[in-house]
């Protein structure tokens, strides 16, 4: 039995296979509509995340299965002090597969170590969020046609943004991927990502502080939110915040085929006027998220269609 | 120089960094054994200038060599029988250590689930980097 705890749990070949299934699902949804009939996914969400939870539930329902679960720790036995290990042993009797979101890092691994059903990590604190990474990879591969030979700009909070770290970890495995890391000095990518991931894999990267400088050379821009509370002083935040807002004026600097991705939710880092630009694909990205989760459920349940 | 009687049966931990013997004494659980233990601090050393030494009158099996390898793999372990050194144990960084140190990441699952084993995995042998099994935080 396999679990998905980190994006690196899947080899490049397994990822390819998964994305092929997801693509087939997107083209032939009816073929997959009943393949999980009688199967149940448990969504164990110890902290709220409406979109991720609904995405998993929608994925299982699209496959003809059902979903059950809880959406906050207060409505689960965790409020009574039950351990993750005990919870998953019990849920293993109720469901065929589970997706877990937990505020503590490593919680999904603890669940996997004690589970008799496949466990999908739906986010464990600031640590991993592998299905977001799968969604990002699926979006890039589908819309660009490949995952290699790309110049990828990552913009915003690169220090605390787990989606950024996971995406870098996944993309360094493909050849000739160059990274442009766009952030204020306070929110640079952590040194372990620079040394242990980028440099250790011989990936080409540069760090810049101005989005405008980077835009013309990018094949893809991955935007994240710069949060006020991450700055040491408000003056610095006010000085920097507009630099990382993508608007139609900045989009004129970008290539005609550059894609804009965002893990969502956005606040104000992408102006709503950019939504009309065909290069803005963050809402399509959400749809790809459902397809890749459907493919993942099939893979972990070992259902061949 | 201070003389400590020669050990007849047991083992000697030599080349301990000066000042570290007491913490190693506790980390190895030597405070809990009934056998005779001698701690020598700040002994003269050609190689190190000053060093600490621990002599233990007990079988080598009474300590966890993985713990010692994790603390400092440069420590020399001499096995003594009939007052003579009859063997040396080479320490190396253990691949995995369990319940020797605790994860200091406040966001780690081990901070709220106390019954979990504290497990660290050697992820970079060259630089002796250990990471928490659960949250992957580096142990410093």
Asked about A101 being catalytic, the answer comes back as yes
Contact B135 A192 (CB under 8 A): no
Q: Which residues lie below 8 Å from residue A105, measured CB to CB, with a gap of 6+?
A: A124, A125, A126, A127, B105, B107, B108, B109, B134, B135, B136, B137
Q: Which of A80, A146, A252, A276 is catalytic?
A: A80
Residues of chain B found within 8 Å of residue A110, distances taken between Cβ atoms: 109, 113, 116, 134
Residue A244 region, left (φ>0) first, then alpha (ψ -120 to 50), else beta? alpha
Report pLDDT for A238: 79
Residue with tokens 């006010």: A238
ipTM for this prediction: 0.87
Asked about A129 being catalytic, the answer comes back as yes
Q: How many angstroms separate the CA of residue B1 from the nearest CA in chain A?
A: 48
pTM: 0.88
Task: Look at residue B55 and give its three-state secondary structure.
Answer: strand
Asked about A165 being catalytic, the answer comes back as no
- Asked whether the beta carbons of A280 and A270 are under 8 A apart, the reply is yes
pLDDT < 50 regions, chain A: none
Residues of chain B found within 8 Å of residue A166, distances taken between Cβ atoms: none
pLDDT, tens only, A159-178: 888 899 999 999 999 999 99
Mean pLDDT for the stretch of residues B19-35: 92
pLDDT, tens only, A244-283: 899 999 999 999 999 999 999 888 899 999 999 999 999 9
DSSP conformational letter for B70: H
Contact B109 A192 (CB under 8 A): no
Token pair listed for A203: 């990936």
DSSP conformational letter for B108: B
- Mean pLDDT for all residues in chain B: 91
- Measure the CA–CA gap between A169 and A194, rounded to whole angstroms: 11
Residue A64 region, left (φ>0) first, then alpha (ψ -120 to 50), else beta? left
Contact A106 B115 (CB under 8 A): no
- Measure the CA–CA gap between B72 and B76, rounded to whole angstroms: 10
């Amino acid at each position: 039995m396999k679990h998905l705890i980190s994006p690196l749990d899947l080899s490049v070949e397994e990822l390819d296979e998964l994305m092929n299934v997801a693509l087939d699902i997107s083209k032939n949804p009816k073929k997959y509509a009943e393949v999980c009939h009688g199967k149940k996914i448990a969504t164990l969400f110890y902290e709220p995340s409406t979109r991720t939870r609904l995405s998993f539930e929608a994925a299982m329902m699209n496959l003809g299965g059902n979903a059950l679960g809880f959406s906050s720790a207060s409505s689960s036995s965790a409020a009574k002090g039950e351990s993750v290990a005990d919870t998953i042993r019990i849920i293993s009797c109720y469901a065929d597969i589970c997706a877990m979101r937990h505020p503590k890092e490593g919680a999904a691994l603890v669940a996997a170590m004690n589970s008799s059903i496949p466990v999908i990590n739906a986010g464990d604190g600031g640590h991993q969020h592998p299905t977001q990474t799968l969604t990002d990879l699926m979006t890039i591969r589908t819309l660009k046609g490949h995952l290699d030979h790309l110049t990828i700009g990552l913009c915003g909070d690169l220090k605390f943004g787990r989606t950024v770290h996971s995406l870098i970890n996944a993309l360094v495995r493909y050849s000739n991927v160059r990274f442009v890391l766009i952030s204020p000095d306070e929110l640079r990518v952590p040194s372990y990502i620079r040394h242990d991931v980028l440099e250790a894999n011989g990936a080409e990267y540069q760090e810049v502080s101005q989005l405008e400088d980077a835009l013309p050379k990018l094949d893809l821009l991955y935007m994240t939110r710069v949060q006020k509370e991450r700055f040491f002083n408000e003056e610095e935040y006010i000085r920097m915040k507009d630099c990382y807002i993508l608007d139609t004026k900045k989009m004129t600097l970008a290539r005609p085929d550059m894609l804009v991705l965002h893990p969502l939710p956005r606040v104000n880092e992408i102006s709503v006027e950019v939504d009309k630009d065909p290069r803005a694909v963050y809402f399509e990205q959400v749809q790809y998220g459902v397809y890749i989760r459907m493919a993942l459920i099939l893979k972990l349940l070992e259902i061949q269609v | 120089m201070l003389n400590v009687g020669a050990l007849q049966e047991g083992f000697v931990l030599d080349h301990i960094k000066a000042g570290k013997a007491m913490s190693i004494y506790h980390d190895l659980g030597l405070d809990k054994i009934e056998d005779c233990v001698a701690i020598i601090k700040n002994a003269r050393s050609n190689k190190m200038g000053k060093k600490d030494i621990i002599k233990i009158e007990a079988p080598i099996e009474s300590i966890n060599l993985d713990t010692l390898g994790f603390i400092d793999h440069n420590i020399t372990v001499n096995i003594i029988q009939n007052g003579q050194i009859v063997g040396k144990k080479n320490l190396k960084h253990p691949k995995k250590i369990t319940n020797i140190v605790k994860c200091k990441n406040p966001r780690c699952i081990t901070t709220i689930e106390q019954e979990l084993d504290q497990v660290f995995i050697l992820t970079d042998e060259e630089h002796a980097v250990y990471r928490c099994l659960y949250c992957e935080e580096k142990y410093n």
